[in-house]
């Protein structure tokens, strides 16, 4: 199905991303290229557990051109803002995030799209209330992996994410910020940082169309994309119930390694700090591995192999 018709489906009330994904897979597998062809299939044959009333009425009425015109107007407005849209059938769509249980059907991007195809990437994430030690570790981690030609992925949140993006800019590492909305930056205090990322050949990316409110549920949901774009997740600091855990869980499900700083080697003075309770828990549970300044070379080799494997899988058509 073409991207205009796919976006029309996304605009329908009650048709969520899960349904859109199934419909895109269905149309792709069955050579269905338009809404008219989809309507001929019959709603009873659609691969959905429940077909919403909105979708039934839309397909039965067949008045698709009005919605197409509206969608084309939206696309023009987004393009004027520098926002490009891709969906899972687009050539530019990053195949590595198809490993996720629920890969986003659409990506709205602003900046250097070529970064999405580069699998030499790590996610550097953590609490919004990082300690001074956490900032030092974040900066050093980014510097070391920049030296090894890795892209830095994070979420532009306050705290560790901000430190990671700023360090990437400082050391000349390409950086990708995964957001809820690429047009209205949240938090607003990082609007200038977002602009710096774009100006330095970086990328802003979101699964939601411009104008989507930044609510807690969408912030948590976007975290999985950070993991999907990366060969590994480096959780610098987090509480046991911190938002960072969303990225960690997503990485675990797709078998991407998770690393946390070795608190002893990092010389934390207070091991009761809330911001390292999550990282210590991940170590105790065997979810993550500890890393130190001595680990960068071996981890880099491991992640390079993951990157190569991902590229080989996509070239061989496994996705």
Mean pLDDT of 174-201: 97
pLDDT reported for residue 319: 52
Report long-range pairs for 31-40 (Cβ below 8 Å, ≥24 apart).
Answer: 32/1, 33/1, 33/2, 34/1, 34/2, 34/5, 35/1, 35/5, 35/8, 35/9, 35/59, 35/64, 36/62, 36/64, 38/1, 38/5
pLDDT reported for residue 183: 95
CA–CA separation, 98 and 180 (whole Å): 19
DSSP 243-310: THHHHHHHHHHTT--EEEE-TTTTT-S-TT-GGGHHHHHHHHTTSSEEE-TTSHHHHHHHHHHHHHHH
The pLDDT tens digits of the residues spanning 251-264 come to: 999 999 999 999 99
Neighbours of 67 (CB within 10 A): 18
pLDDT score of 10 more than 60: yes
Tokens linked to 172: 């000349």
The pLDDT tens digits of the residues spanning 116-133 come to: 999 999 999 999 999 999
DSSP character for 319? Answer: -
Band of residue 316 on the pLDDT scale cut at 50, 70, 90: low
Q: What is the mean pLDDT of the chain?
A: 95
pLDDT score of 265 more than 60: yes
Whole-structure pTM value: 0.94
């Amino acid at each position: 199905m073409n991207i205009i018709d796919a976006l029309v489906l996304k605009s329908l009330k009650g048709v969520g991303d899960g349904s859109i994904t199934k419909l895109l897979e269905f149309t792709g597998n069955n050579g269905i290229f338009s809404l008219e062809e989809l309507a001929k299939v019959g709603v009873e044959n659609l691969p959905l557990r429940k077909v919403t009333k909105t979708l039934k009425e839309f397909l039965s009425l067949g008045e698709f051109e009005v919605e197409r015109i509206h969608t084309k107007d939206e696309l023009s407005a987004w393009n004027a803002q520098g926002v490009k849209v891709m969906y899972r059938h687009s050539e530019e769509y990053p195949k590595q995030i198809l490993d996720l249980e629920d890969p986003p059907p659409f990506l709205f991007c602003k900046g250097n799209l070529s970064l999405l195809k580069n699998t030499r990437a790590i996610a550097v994430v953590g609490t919004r209330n990082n300690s001074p030690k956490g900032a030092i570790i974040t900066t050093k981690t980014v510097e070391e992996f920049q030296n090894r030609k890795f892209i830095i992925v994070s979420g532009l949140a306050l705290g560790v994410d901000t430190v990671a993006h700023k360090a990437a800019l400082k050391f000349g590492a390409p950086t990708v910020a995964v957001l809820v909305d690429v047009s209205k930056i949240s938090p607003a205090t990082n609007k200038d940082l977002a602009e710096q990322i774009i100006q330095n050949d970086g990328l802003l990316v979101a699964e939601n169309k411009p104008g989507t409110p930044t609510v807690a549920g969408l912030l948590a949901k976007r975290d999985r994309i950070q993991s999907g774009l990366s060969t590994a997740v480096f959780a610098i600091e987090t509480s046991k119930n911190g938002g960072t855990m969303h990225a960690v869980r997503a990485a675990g499900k797709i078998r991407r390694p998770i690393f946390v700083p070795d608190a002893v080697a990092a010389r934390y003075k207070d091991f009761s700090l809330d911001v390292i309770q999550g990282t210590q828990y991940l170590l105790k549970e065997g979810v993550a591995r500890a890393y130190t300044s001595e680990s960068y070379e071996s981890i880099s080799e491991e992640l390079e192999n993951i990157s190569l494997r991902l590229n080989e899988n996509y070239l061989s058509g496994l996705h």
